[in-house]
Chain A
Amino acid sequence: MAKLDPLIHAPARLQVLTTLSAVSEAEFATLRAVLEVSDSVLSKHVSALADAGYVRSRKGVRAGRRTTWIGLTSAGREALHEHVAALRRLIDGVD
């Protein structure tokens, strides 16, 4: 039975995982622009999610600049599905 995941219960982290589910990898700057957050905020959330094994990050180069690419892991995808299912069940239960 799906349960709420406290690690991704924060709206910003839920947005990070949901956005990453649309792509295989996203550049840090692209993700920051889509989520409309600051570098430090996104970096903090990505670090927390990476520590839990929900996302992976690697260094890369884009247009001659060193960049960070972030992707959703299979564990992160599964955790996201369970969390979203729990949220929807909660909504259905209250409604």
Chain B
Amino acid sequence: MRAEVPIGARDPAFPSTRTHADAHVRKSLTCRGPGGPVRSLPQSQASHRSCVNVGRLSAALSKRPRPLTMLEYLPIWKVASILSTMENTPVQQNPDDPRSELAVADQARQRLAAGLRLPTGLHSVLAAAVAVQVGAAAYGIAAQTTAGLAVALAGVAVLMGVAALLLYQFRRINGVRVDGLSSQIVLGSGGTSTLIYMVGFGAATWAAFESRWWLVAAASVAAGVSYAFGTLRWWHVYRHDPSAHAGGASPRVFAALAVLACLGLVALLIAR
């Protein structure tokens, strides 16, 4: 095997009737120097300059018995068969592609949900705020006075203020807004927790009418704890299936509720 063949010179082993394909192969294997003209390189240098081993090329070409003719190069029966197959064979659907697409998208969603964090002390603060609201409302209803009404409204204001602060913190920490969480914190829309809240509220109001203040406190705390527990349970359900539980009352709904509350307050004041 020869180590070096001057490119551009006629190779004795290379027939004079070279085809276009042979010429193309040889052209692609030449090395151009900085000055531009084609030149040959020793084998040691060629390997370092990403040139193909020219000696191996010569050996490979010399093994070819004869040049290809046009008919042998593109036989029509072969081309026709290939084209026919390409046109008639349906595209094979690979189920792994859509499956992997869905899996990657689902992973991104789960990554977002798993990275969400509740504000520190959300459950205890929420439980305390609800307990204050229930106790104040029970006292206000039992007192049947303007001062009592003011106390009840103050309790509602405390709960709304705490809820707004918690939701603001959640949005600031995570960079997302989840209406389902807003509904849980402001409206307590969980089934069991809402029921316990209503029972606690009723018990506290009855106890206030009976002037059993320890029972008012106990019922208020129970209502607050159940309210916070409902939020905690919703949070776990949401983390498991975020898209199904992300929805809830939108800020517009809360604005409408606030307007209704204000109108109710005005009506109460006028009625007195």
A1 interfacial by beta-carbon distance below 8 Å: no
Complex interface bits, A1-22 against B, C-beta within 8 A gives 1, otherwise 0: 0000000000100110111011
Q: Evaluate whether A90 and B112 lie within 8 angstroms (CB atoms) in the complex, with A22-B242, A24-B177, A27-B175 already known.
A: no
- Asked if B108 and A21 make an inter-chain contact with CB atoms under 8 angstroms apart, the answer reads no
B101, B109, B178: the one within 8 Å of A24 (CB): B178
B22 contacts partner chain A, Cβ-Cβ < 8 Å: no
Select A11's contact among B105, B113, B179, B246, beta carbons within 8 Å. Answer: B105
Report B231-261 CB contacts with A as 1/0, cut-off 8 Å: 0000000000011001110100000000000
Query: Which residues from chain A contact B246 at a C-beta distance below 8 Å?
Result: 21-24
Shortest Cβ distance from A7 into chain B, in angstroms?
A: 14
A89 to chain B, nearest CB (A): 10
Q: Which of B94, B98, B106, B178 contacts A23 (CB 8 A)?
A: B178
Say yes or no for B99: interface residue by CB 8 A criterion: yes
A residues within 8 A CB of B94? Answer: 94
Give the complex CA separation of A25 and B247 in angstroms: 11
Give, as a whole number of angstroms, the nearest-CB distance from B187 to chain A: 15
> Given the complex, which residues of A lie within 8 Å of B93, measured CB to CB?
90, 93-94
A59 interface residue (CB < 8 Å to B) = no
Per a CB cutoff under 8 Å, which of B95, B172, B176 touches A26? B176
* Dominant secondary structure of chain B at its interface with chain A: helix
Is A75 among interface residues, defined by CB-CB distance under 8 A? no
Question: Interface residues of B, CB < 8 Å — how many?
Answer: 31
Distance in Å: Cβ of A93 to nearest Cβ of chain B: 8
Which of B98, B174, B180, B250 has the most chain A CB atoms inside 10 A of its CB? Answer: B98
Count residues of chain A with CB under 8 A from any CB of chain B: 28
A15 touches B104 (CB 8 A): yes
- Residue B111 interfacial (CB < 8 Å): yes
Within 8 A of A (CB), among B98-154: 98-99, 101-102, 104-106, 108-109, 111-113, 115
A22–B250 alpha-carbon span in the complex (Å): 15
State how many angstroms separate the Cβ of A13 from the closest Cβ of chain B. Answer: 10
Within 8 A of A (CB), among B153-178: 171-172, 174-178
Contact A87 B101, CB 8 Å, known A23-B176, A23-B242: yes
Nearest Cβ on chain A to B189's Cβ, whole angstroms: 15
Q: Given A87-B101, A90-B93, do A25 and B108 touch, yes or no (CB 8 Å)?
A: no
Task: Let me know if A95 is at the binding interface, CB within 8 A.
Answer: yes
Neighbouring B residues of A27 by C-beta, 8 Å? 175-176
A95–B97 CA distance with the chains assembled, in angstroms: 12
Indicate if the CB atoms of A88 and B115 lie closer than 8 Å: no
Per-position 1/0 for A53-95, Cβ under 8 A of B: 0000000001100000100000000000000100110110111
Distance in angstroms between the alpha carbons of A21 and B175 in the assembled complex: 15
With known contacts A18-B108, A22-B113, A34-B115, A29–B175 Cβ distance under 8 A: yes
Whether A38 sits at the interface, judged by CB under 8 Å, is no
Kindly list the 6 A-B residue pairs having the minimum CB-CB distance in the complex, ordered from nearest. A30-B175, A22-B242, A27-B175, A18-B105, A94-B95, A21-B243
Interface CB pairs A-B, < 8 A, 8: A11-B101, A11-B104, A19-B112, A21-B242, A23-B246, A87-B98, A87-B101, A88-B98
Residues of B within 8 A of A (CB): 93-95, 98-99, 101-102, 104-106, 108-109, 111-113, 115, 171-172, 174-180, 242-243, 246-248, 250
